[in-house]
């Protein structure tokens, strides 16, 4: 590589200008780095296509963006105190952090829902329900209901109920109330003075709307602080439990930020320790400036391409500290080991350094074809960082480190050559045994698509969710079925078919608008059945018996004319706008969703294997219905990860093998250069399978590192033993490997599962690749010692 020898000679008399230019670039990148916007949203790590769109729909769950407040009364406290606490908390929660606070159905349905149900019955009741109504309304029952009407009219609230009772003396709105039950989002709630209370009367529920997006960690933190201030005003006998997706966001953002500071600091300290143990020379500090310099440059490259940087990508910076120092370490040891002219040394070391760097870059470049945007960010981060590290190591660093004098060359410590002294068959036998022992547990490795395994879930948040679920039932974990159509009518028709199908499975109690918002064609059929019923024999009988019973009980003539006139009056079609006027606007907004392609109508169903199986079986019958389930989502994500990983592993090994083949051009050195890669992957997969560690989407990144770095170690060791290249190679490989482990060792200490997962798995692979390079490759290059 004479090019770098020429560059070295050209820059030697211009060192000061080179250093000023380099320092200016690094300083500008640091200043720009401070303006980078960090993105903690895990959606960046989801595959493109159906999985990502399913995740977006998961975020549209009715309670996904709400704050649930469950108030619990102390055992010995007066029950009246609970109502006081509810009213006090409602008054304390307001703009700018809370738009609306719901304490009961009256808050959710502000209009006259009973009157609306009575008027809308012709659109809602089918022929079968009318036949059942007729069977239950014999003369005795009609008279009994009129007795109840008279008693209610004579009660204190009679003057308020008079008009409603005249319009519906037979209580036909019970049919509508039964349909209203299908909108119950709080399954175990009861009502007390219009408030949601638990069965034991010792808990109350409030549902707060907030304008803060669930992915806005800064806004979520401020909103939760305002909420804590409001909760502090509650009486000491009342305890509040808060459940909200915003708590997850704040917990994860805080953990990532703490981990970033801690792991980066720990990485630097570990690298400093390596310096003190292996180098102990003032000029040896310069190689460790390389990773610090490239970190901000790499993050800036991602920000330029994406606008924001994933927090997980930035956490990968701790790892990059360990990777990017490798090339500088090899250049340092070459210069300090060889006693020739620096340009000659650089020309010789540039070949393995460049090919090692290019193979690592190639392994990461394969991630550019990933379906996961977060992994594409990681690819750009690694490619730009490693490319900058190569330039700094081969162009700038040689101007800072003078070579050792010819008579001052030190041989590596004897213990570093242990692989050359141990019997060849021992080393190869132990290596082969480790590979064989890794194969069986590796076959049991499980791919995990559950995003919750990549998010931090503090114990207190998990306990709060369990407590709220125990008191109020399952609210947040329901599966969602979206009936889709190019227009509202077709979407409502698909939703009605779905509701009818679910009705065949009593265990699948659904929360649905279908009973209250049928498609226009169904409404018309119901209206025809309504008119036919009341004009037919059964309907006329009921009307005659009502008139007779009203006369016998002393009601005034014409008392129930509003009822009789209503039977023949024209009925307006039910529309979303009419539901909003009736007081069901919040339910309509949550469950009728306009899209660019048309409309989606939401139905909530119990999540679980039975639900997934039901929708799988009915896929042909319900082609425009889409189930979004946590269980199914995890399965789909696992399949996507598996496909992405298989594609990546095949391409990465192929690309790396081509690079190595181009470098060595003979089978033996090519296979030996790939030996650390194979060893690292086998041990990583084997230990993960043996210990039950699941393979997640972030472990694909770990695999890229093992392939890229493992082949680096192999290239340098093959150059040493196959091409008589020896510039402190053993020590350079060891220090390079330990510097990488130092970076990953810091990630093991991370609290956030995503960062921790990368650290654990890569540590396994790199920890196996280093001894494979230092011990096994030398054993294959020599005969057995006798």
Q: What DSSP string runs through 96-140?
A: TT-SEEE-SHHHH--S-HHHHHHHHHHHH--HHHHHHHHHH--HH
For 423, residues 6+ apart whose C-beta sits below 8 A from its C-beta are 784, 785
* Predicted local distance difference test score (pLDDT) of residue 316: 63
Asked if 206 and 239 touch (Cβ cutoff 8 Å), the reply is: no
Say how many C-beta atoms besides its own lie within 10 A of residue 23's C-beta. Answer: 12
Tokens coding 519: 């498609």
* Straight-line distance from the first to the last Cα atom of the chain, in angstroms, rounded to the nearest whole number: 39
Q: Alpha-carbon distance 414 to 201, whole Å?
A: 78
| Residue for token pair 């701790």 | 318
* Predicted local distance difference test score (pLDDT) of residue 111: 45
Domains defined for the chain, CATH in brackets: 2-26+257-453+633-780 (no CATH), 65-104+194-244 (3.30.70.1440), 113-186+478-606 (no CATH)
Say how many C-beta atoms besides its own lie within 10 A of residue 580's C-beta. Answer: 16
Question: Helix 424-442 to helix 667-691 angle, to the nearest 10 degrees?
Answer: 50
* The model's pTM: 0.66
Asked if 5 and 347 touch (Cβ cutoff 8 Å), the reply is: yes
* Predicted local distance difference test score (pLDDT) of residue 409: 45
* Predicted local distance difference test score (pLDDT) of residue 263: 76
Q: Alpha-carbon distance 468 to 69, whole Å?
A: 9
For 656, residues 6+ apart whose C-beta sits below 8 A from its C-beta are 359, 362, 363, 674, 677, 707, 708, 711
Q: Angle CA(639)–CA(641)–CA(646) in degrees, nearest 5?
A: 95
| Residue for token pair 């310099």 | 293
Q: Alpha-carbon distance 723 to 703, whole Å?
A: 29
Instruction: Split the chain (786 residues) into runs of 10 and give each run's mean pLDDT.
Output: 83 87 84 69 62 66 76 88 89 89 62 77 91 90 91 78 86 83 77 79 89 80 92 91 87 79 77 72 70 77 74 63 76 74 83 85 82 78 86 87 56 57 83 88 74 72 87 77 93 93 72 91 93 92 92 89 88 89 80 89 85 85 86 73 78 88 88 93 90 76 81 88 72 82 75 79 88 89 55
Asked if 637 and 697 touch (Cβ cutoff 8 Å), the reply is: yes
Nearest Cα neighbor of 125 from 438, 548, 516, 701 is 516
For 122, residues 6+ apart whose C-beta sits below 8 A from its C-beta are 526, 527, 530, 531, 571
């Amino acid at each position: 590589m004479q090019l770098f020898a020429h560059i070295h000679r050209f820059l030697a008399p211009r060192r000061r200008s080179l250093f000023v230019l380099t320092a200016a670039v690094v300083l500008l990148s640091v200043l720009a780095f401070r303006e980078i916007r960090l993105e903690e949203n895990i959606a960046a790590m989801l595959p493109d296509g159906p999985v990502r769109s399913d995740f977006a729909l998961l975020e549209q769950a009715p309670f996904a963006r709400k704050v649930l407040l469950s108030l619990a009364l102390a055992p010995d406290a007066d029950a009246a105190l609970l109502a006081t606490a509810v009213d006090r908390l409602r008054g304390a929660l307001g703009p700018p952090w809370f738009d609306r606070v719901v304490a009961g159905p009256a808050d959710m349905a502000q209009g006259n829902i009973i009157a609306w149900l009575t008027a809308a019955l012709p659109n809602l009741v089918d022929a079968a329900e009318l036949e059942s109504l007729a069977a239950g309304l014999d003369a005795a029952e009609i008279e009994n209901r009129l007795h109840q009407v008279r008693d209610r009219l004579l009660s204190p609230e009679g003057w308020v109920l008079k008009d409603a009772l005249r319009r519906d003396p037979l209580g036909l709105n019970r049919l509508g109330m039964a349909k209203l039950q299908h909108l119950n989002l709080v399954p175990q709630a009861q009502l007390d003075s219009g408030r949601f209370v638990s069965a034991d009367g010792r808990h109350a529920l409030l549902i707060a709307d907030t304008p803060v997006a669930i992915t806005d960690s800064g806004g979520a933190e401020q909103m939760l602080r305002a909420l804590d201030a409001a909760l502090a005003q509650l009486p000491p006998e009342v305890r509040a439990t808060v459940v909200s997706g915003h708590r997850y966001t704040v917990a994860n953002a805080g953990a990532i930020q703490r981990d970033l500071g801690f792991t980066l600091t720990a990485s630097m300290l570990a690298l400093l320790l390596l310096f003190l143990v292996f180098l102990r020379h003032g000029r040896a500090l310069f190689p460790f400036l390389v990773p610090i310099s490239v970190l901000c440059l790499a993050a800036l490259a991602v920000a330029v391409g994406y606008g924001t940087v994933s927090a997980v990508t930035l956490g990968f910076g701790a790892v990059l500290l360990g990777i990017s120092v490798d090339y500088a370490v090899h250049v340092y040891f070459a210069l300090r080991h060889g006693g020739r002219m620096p340009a000659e040394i650089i020309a010789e070391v540039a070949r393995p350094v460049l090919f090692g760097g290019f193979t690592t870059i190639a392994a990461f470049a394969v991630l550019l074809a990933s379906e996961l945007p977060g992994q594409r960010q990681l690819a750009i981060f690694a490619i730009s960082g490693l490319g900058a590290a190569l330039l700094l190591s081969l162009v700038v660093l040689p101007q800072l480190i003078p070579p050792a004098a010819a008579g001052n060359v030190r041989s590596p410590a004897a213990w570093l050559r242990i692989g050359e002294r141990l019997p060849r068959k021992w080393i190869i036998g132990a290596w082969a045994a480790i590979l064989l022992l890794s194969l069986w547990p590796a076959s049991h490795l499980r791919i995990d698509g559950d995003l919750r395994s990549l998010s931090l879930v503090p114990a207190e948040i998990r306990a709060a969710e369990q407590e709220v679920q125990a008191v109020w039932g399952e609210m947040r974990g329901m599966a969602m079925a979206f009936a889709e159509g190019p227009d509202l009518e077709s979407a409502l028709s698909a939703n009605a078919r779905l509701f009818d199908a679910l009705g065949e499975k009593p265990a699948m109690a659904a929360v649905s608008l279908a009973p209250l918002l049928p498609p226009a064609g169904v409404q018309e059929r119901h209206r025809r059945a309504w008119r036919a019923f009341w004009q037919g024999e059964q309907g006329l009988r009921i009307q005659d018996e009502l008139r007779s019973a009203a006369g016998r009980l002393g009601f005034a003539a014409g008392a129930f004319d509003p009822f009789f006139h209503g039977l023949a009056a024209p009925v307006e079609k039910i529309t979303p706008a009419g539901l909003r006027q009736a007081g069901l606007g919040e339910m309509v907004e949550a469950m009728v969703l306009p899209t660019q392609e048309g409309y989606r109508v939401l139905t909530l169903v119990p999540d679980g294997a039975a639900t997934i199986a039901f929708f799988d079986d009915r896929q042909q019958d319900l082609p425009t219905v889409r189930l979004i389930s946590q269980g199914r989502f995890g399965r789909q994500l696992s399949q996507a990860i598996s496909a992405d990983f298989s594609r990546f592993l095949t391409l990465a090994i192929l690309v790396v093998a081509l690079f190595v083949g181009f470098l060595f051009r003979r089978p033996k050195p090519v296979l030996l250069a790939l030996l650390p890669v194979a060893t690292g992957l086998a041990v990583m997969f084997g230990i993960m399978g043996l210990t039950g560690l699941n393979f997640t989407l972030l472990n694909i990144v770990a695999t890229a590192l093992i392939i890229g770095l493992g082949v680096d170690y192999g290239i340098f060791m093959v150059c040493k033993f196959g091409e008589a290249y020896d510039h402190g190679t053993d020590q350079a490989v060891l220090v390079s490997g330990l510097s990488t482990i130092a970076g990953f060792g810091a990630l093991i200490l991370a609290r956030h599962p995503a960062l921790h997962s990368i650290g654990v798995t890569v540590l396994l692979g790199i920890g196996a690749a280093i001894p494979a390079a230092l011990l096994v490759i030398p054993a294959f290059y020599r005969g057995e010692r006798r």
